[in-house]
Each structure stands twice: as structure tokens, then as C-alpha cells.
Amino acid sequence: MSATTAPAPSPAVTDETATERRPSMRGGWMLVGAKEFGDHLLSVRFIVLFLILALAAAVPLYFVSGDIRTAASGANSFPALFIGLFWFTPQVNDQITLPSVVGFLALVGPLLGMAFAFDAINGERAEGTLPRLLSQPIHRDDVINGKFAAGLAVISMVLIVMVAAVAAFALIRLGIIPKASEILRVILWLMLTFVYVSLWLAFGMLLSVVVRRAATSALIGFGAWLLLTFFGSLIVSLLGGIFTSTASTAEQQLSNIGVQETLSRLLPDTLYREASLVLLNPQVTTVSTPATIAGYAQAQQRIPSLLSLDQSFILIWPQVVALVALTTACFALAYVLFMRQEVRA
């Protein structure tokens, strides 16, 4: 009598079971991003940078509140009081003038971007966890995409909390009720700030891919921030002296000013400040000096008016495109270099 044997599982069932047990690779970047996002929120650097940004927004807001209260009585001469909280420059006394909320963010915003990216890849490489991470059932680009997405999530969360705090201060302490157009301007400015900080996040990600040591990439990143932010105007002046001629007429003076302005727009800080001022102050109708005497005279005779939201956005469209292009270029270069690197221990 022959022994009874159990029927072999069908190939379809075996393949289906294996598919259920095999992790999906399509959401690999989301898994990496969620892990990185949690690590960022629990890190000391997040707490320190959040406090720095909160201080950067609170200090000018405290001093500007008195000027806003004074301007509230003559609101016709000081329109858009709510968004004035972001761009108005407070004066402590006759000698000390503080930067606005926009000015402080232009200075310390890059720190928020680079702090969460300068050791994103080389930190994993130094700890020996990068080959182990890539041995998981995820695509290789999920690592850099997930880390970049986590940095974007942290940046957006911090900026939204900061803007919400300023809006709450305006509503509760000053009693200013924003108009719909002002809210839209603040939302667009928030998106602009997000792009500006994301540029430095992408730059930090690029350094983490190119430079092997995290300390070296941090030094290069913060050195570039100091050079472009605090000494950028000096560099532009030196370059302007090279590319401009001695001004003997008014036309040449205007031409030299135009060259200086063009060179200054190579700095991300200048692009962000110009775009922010136009978005948050509808009284600003131009960001460039006229190139001719006739244009300059026409600008002087122009009747003061308020730009609509679409007119303001058209005015800053080149600055926005430049910031987006720089951000895309930095991340694309980091992506390509990471995909071609050898990651084995």
C-alpha cells in the first residue's frame, strides 16, 4: 500500500504568499522619510534651531508692535497693517535699528535648511549604516529622496508654526483682523520662504554626498552661508568695480547701478529679500533702478499706488524662478552623484 503524501502547494499560492511577505518598494522613500522626520523632531539641533527662529521672529515683533499701534490710528497712510508685522523694520532708539521678521529669516533661515542635511548621507557612511540601509528591499534613490522629504517636512512645520504665532499675536495682542488679500500674500510669502530654506537644504544635501566627513561638510556649508550672507554685498561691490566703468554722466551712473543690482541678484539672500518685500508690501512697485534718465524721471513722477496680488507676483516672478531653479539644480546634482557613488563598506 502506497503512503499518502500531502499535495504540493500550487505555484500561484506560493507566489502570492511570497508577494505578501515581500515588502513593497514603492513606498520606500516614505519609510525613510518617516524615520528621518521622527529623528529630527527628537534631536537637540531641532530644539535649538526652533528656539533661534522663534527668537528671530519675536524680537522684531515686540519692537514693531508699538509702531503698528501708532499706525493703526492713521491706517490710510499705513495700509495692510497685518502684513506690516513681517516687513516693517523696528527702531529701538536713534542708533539701533533691528531687522524685520523677513530680515531675520533671511539671516537664520539657511541654518534651518543646512542643519538637517549636512550629515544626511556622510553621517550614515561614517557610522557604517549606509550599506546596511541599502541592503533593505528599497530602491537606492529612496534613501536620498526620503531624507530630503523629511527635511522639507521639518522646514514646513517650523515655518507654519512661526507664521501662525505671528498671526495669533496680531489678532490677540494688537486686535488686527487681516483681510483676505493679506492672508493670500502671507501664504505666498510662506511658500517663498519655504523655497528659500529648501535651497539651503538641497545645498547641504549636496555637501553630504560630495564630502566624506560630516564636520567638513558642516564647515563648508556654514562658511558659504557666512560668505554669501554677510560678505555678499562686499563681493558684489568688488565685482561691480571690475565690470563697470568710471561714471562721468548720469546715464553711466544708472548703468553702473544696474550692473550692481544684476550682480547682487546672484545671491539667494538678495532674491529672497526682494521677493519678500514686494509680496508683503503692496506699496512697492519696482525692484530695479530705471536704466535711463527718462525712466528715472518717470518713476519719480509716478503717483503712489498699491499693487494687486497678481501684479506683485508678476513683478517678483524672475526672483521666484531663480530660487526654484537653484534648489532644483542643487538637489538634482546631489541625486545624480549619490546614484553613481560606491556605497559598499
Residue 91, SS3 per DSSP: strand
Which helix (H) or strand (E) segment holds residue 157: the answer is helix 141-172
Residue 97, SS3 per DSSP: strand
pLDDT at 138: 82
Q: Is the pLDDT of residue 1 over 50?
A: no
Task: Express each pLDDT in 274-324 by its tens digit.
Answer: 999 999 888 888 876 655 555 545 555 565 667 888 888 898 999 999 999
pLDDT interval class at 23 (50, 70, 90): very low
Task: Express each pLDDT in 162-196 by its tens digit.
Answer: 888 888 887 887 777 888 888 899 999 999 999 99
Residue pair 279/185 in contact by the 8 Å Cβ criterion: yes
pTM of the model: 0.83
Q: Which residue has the cell 518598494?
A: 25
Residue pair 122/217 in contact by the 8 Å Cβ criterion: yes
| Angle between the N-to-C axes of helices 268-280 and 317-340, in degrees from 0 to 180, rounded to the nearest 10 | 140
Residue pair 280/86 in contact by the 8 Å Cβ criterion: yes
Mean pLDDT of 223-248: 79
Mean pLDDT of 132-155: 88
Q: Is the pLDDT of residue 43 over 70?
A: yes
Query: How many CB atoms are closer than 10 A to CB 303?
Result: 4
pLDDT at 94: 67
Q: What cell does 10 get?
A: 500550487
Q: Is the pLDDT of residue 248 over 80?
A: no
